[in-house]
Structure 1
């Protein structure tokens, strides 16, 4: 590539800010533009992150010749429609998790991207964190032996605020799509699509699920035990246990910087994978590599896998009585 890819960011929230900050760690990318429904928020974000262009509408950014690729960091319900708009405009797109509000929505985006030959990927940054990648290699090398049980906790205390998007059902509120998606991805990545799932959930005053414990069941007695909550600060650890030992991703596991091995048949060892920045630059760098190689889909995080994770989340939501989106 003759010049850095010019990223355009839809949204000015916390994740968009962190993503913009991490682009300084990428030689092949720069934050060129930002869009918000508020011109004041867009201009404030542009000033804070030294971004050349600030747009007062999402449509204007997507249509702009100053943008090579779009990062979608808006609230969940807008993801699918905005991704489709980017694809129609021929703009590669990285969509913050959850990729869509349902498997059906996600599959619609997947098919549109494939028809158009436009790159699209979910911003599941965990898949590219070095400690997580090392963990996946150790599992694939059967260091743990035959994998039996996967565990993950992603519980982060969030004060209740009925007006906040996390608790607003019209904005896709609820812990499953905000935090639980990471845990379900971890289970899918290690064990695949479950045969069945049991879910226990507590819903709050606005009707969204605030605390969830789920067991995903697989053949040969394998299982994934997942917890996610807005109501408590949990262990924030992830484990994979096999016949030879256990692998533990240190907290906060979804972007942690170390992992440990323990067990009778494996040497006890800790792997350090420290890094600068927040960790969003690893997914951005992967996108740059995919585009440089002319790919329209990530080999690490294919869209079929994203759809499969959302299908499991659909089943979990249905199990606890939440209406389909």
Structure 2
């Protein structure tokens, strides 16, 4: 996942574990760090209550009833983001894969999944896809039997929301990183935010400078994995098969004007496989193969300056 490599003078960071990954907040005014961390924790808690598929009391779990349900503004925003990602990728990023993930054994927070023996896969296919989910203002209708999973896009939206809120409320430059999802807001440090892009310690790495207001996302088939005898699974599901996408790419990193957009493209690129370069087009992107070869697209990283 992308890491903050070397912090310039006057910049400070806090980090903690959440959602089976690491949350980091970096600010240009160290005196505002504790307040910034509190804002991020509040955003994380609100999103967890709204859309966790691992909590029986989450608003999303209660809304998956097959009937129209009026939902909170936050859940409406999160579902709208997921449906937008599905539409923009032709269904490669589809929030209706929740049941498929459960069938693969990913039915609890990833931290609790690690080290657990997983039963053989249950092949789960539901006829509806993202186009069967209806959201009109705050009225959400999820077909009966469909379990939404907003994991990818909700994490990116949380990074975008938290960064914007911290910059606005505290008047600081800020970088928020939730695992591989990074969002920035406010005035950045001189020369931009310095970010080390690397998934696993043995992977090839590079250091880039994100301009203030830019974002980045890295999707991986190597980090969130779990297994059973003879099979190693990962969390990025191809909606057309209900199975983890083939490992054409070990990681895909994309820079964009929002973390949501970057995450949408990086996740879809994993699903798209060999056709990922056509999908990514001119987006600054870095793709790593299972053999650890690196493909750079869209002027990576020289074109970052044009994102802000």
Question: What is the TM-score when the length of structure 2 is the normalising length?
Answer: 0.31
Normalized per residue, the structure richer in helix is 1
Pair member with larger Rg: 1
Question: What is the TM-score when the length of structure 1 is the normalising length?
Answer: 0.30
